[in-house]
A and B are shown apart, each in its own frame.
Chain A
């Protein structure tokens, strides 16, 4: 099964298992070694604190020349993440470099939860709310975390 898997993916998977990053877990699917079940804990001092967010990550055929595809499965109220869980993050698009790894991508997503950027929005309605009334937006994000992310 994994005979056709590039050494790079095998190595990365091993390292994710042996040296996990705090607050992040990534487990390859039993059927497909390019598909990962990811969990990210909401960062401290953010409206997502206490939440456990589920994501899916897929390594396309030309990985690492092309970026992995990542999506939130858990509903989240965030200006850079839309209704379908798609993420607006530069390193997943034009700033991708083959030297980046699954680990660095997930760390960047964790950092995005701590620092939402409403000036570069993906979910326009959320971004607007975030700019107009930040405290109310943060309240909503907390509420969504409590209801959906456990």
Chain B
């Protein structure tokens, strides 16, 4: 008994494992033969190597890069920082430029002055050309361009620009002078701690934003910086705030659709949402008895509470037709005669097509939200069962795993719609929509079974989980670039 308890712990820790049957309680005894060997030759298209760095780790990383560059190019720290920033912190890119001519590059980037600065003669009374106040020459400070201004003006100049979010781009005050102000120079004029902190925060932000391998986590108030050796449009899961985002565009994770397409899609949705909202209302009538039905669960397999008719919420058709291979409600049927129609018909057809995809996109987003409610219900049910001595808490964990797998699959399914919308008609689109339909059918089956978990055997549910995840992986293998 003690031994099997220990096994429970090992298995229940496995929450995030992507493989099928991750938490199989009876794994050793009865499921072994069913498990497929992991195929090593086919890489997981969603796999992505990244590291989550804290602010100080990121700073150390940048410092190390600066130091290495100082050594390799034989330049000072400031030059290395400016040059790295201008080349996305990719040393090989920078090296290509510096091989030709490093001193002109430093002049171009405002690190060095073009002309040898004239040395001002001291001794006479002079004034600051910004505030026009008389100053001792010793009170006038300047960068290597020899444009000198008083301490008060430098402070005000820097504070004003820092408040506008400018940090690494701070320059000399003279007009048309592009000599940059190094960090120590700026800090020497900032007296208030709040200004100093703000400035240093912005400098760090500028470094990260210009860095090819680093991204800020887009989570609210999250300070994590993600690092990847080979940046790609793949998923990053923040270890601190748990946000999932795309490393490339820092938007919400959107596989299998690419960054550009999803951006276009989201823009389109924002533009057309009024029409779409108007057309896709929140309630629908039962296709048989016309009772008004509000959807209160994630599953799209609906059963009218009045007439017990089973139908699909998406296409409003009989659910029976969804059981077979010919599940087609995720496929948009284009009008084959569209080329011969006039502009008005074409515009209507375009709107119809958009609304078709947008309706499904919205529907799965809503289902995803509603399944959060299901999850809360599952937790409640587990509590009740445990209190009634119907199995232990661990016994019921498979329900939570099922719910999290369902959320993952539905999320991917949601993001297949923008992909399909922009895919050109043809064999590839037909294959995509076939796989999408298969995935959708299995997801709805899973959702249905989870909502009615009491009526289904655990094995039945876990089998359904494996099938849904397999469908998801199949679609990703074919359509999401590795």
Contact = CB atoms under 8 A, between A and B. Distances in A.
A104 B161 CA distance: 21
Interface stretch (A31-39, A48-56, A79-87, A94-102): A94-102
Contacts of A12: 132
Given A65-B156, A65-B160, A99 B175 contact: yes
B129 interface: yes
Interface in B122-164: 129-133, 147, 149, 153, 156-157, 159-161
A64 interface: yes
8 contacts: A11-B132, A65-B159, A65-B161, A97-B176, A97-B177, A98-B153, A99-B173, A104-B175
| Most-contacted residue by chain A among B129, B159, B174, B175 (CB, 10 A) | B175
B156 A6 contact: no
Contacts of A62: 156, 160
Contacts of A6: 131
The 5 A-B residue pairs with the shortest CB-CB distance in the complex, in nearest-first order: A97-B175, A65-B160, A98-B130, A11-B132, A98-B173
Interface in A90-111: 91, 95, 97-100, 104
Given A65-B156, A65-B157, A65-B160, A91 B175 contact: yes
A30 to B, nearest CB: 23
| Most-contacted residue by chain B among A11, A12, A64 (CB, 10 A) | A64
A7 to B, nearest CB: 5
Nearest to A9: B132
Interface residues of A, number: 16
Contacts of A8: 130-132
Contacts of B149: 98
A59 interface: no
A99 B130 contact: yes
Interface string A1-40: 0000011100110000000000000000000000000000
| Most-contacted residue by chain B among A6, A97, A104 (CB, 10 A) | A97
Interface of B: 129-133, 147, 149, 153, 156-157, 159-161, 173-177
Given A8-B132, A65-B157, 14 more contacts: A7-B131, A7-B132, A7-B133, A62-B156, A65-B156, A97-B173, A97-B174, A97-B175, A98-B130, A98-B173, A99-B129, A99-B147, A99-B174, A104-B175
Interface of A: 6-8, 11-12, 62, 64-66, 91, 95, 97-100, 104
A64 B174 CA distance: 12
A65 B130 CA distance: 9
Nearest to A100: B175
Contact of A66 (B129, B147, B160, B175): B160
A15 to B, nearest CB: 10
A78 B156 CA distance: 35
| Most-contacted residue by chain A among B130, B149, B156, B176 (CB, 10 A) | B130
Nearest to B171: A97
Contacts of B133: 7
A98 B161 CA distance: 11
Contacts of B173: 97-99
B63 to A, nearest CB: 30
A100 B149 CA distance: 13
Contacts of A98: 130, 149, 153, 157, 173
A42 B450 CA distance: 78
A116 to B, nearest CB: 22
A64 B175 contact: no
Contacts of B159: 65
| Most-contacted residue by chain B among A12, A91, A100 (CB, 10 A) | A100
B7 to A, nearest CB: 65
Nearest to B159: A65
A7 B133 CA distance: 7
A97 B173 CA distance: 6
Contacts of A100: 175
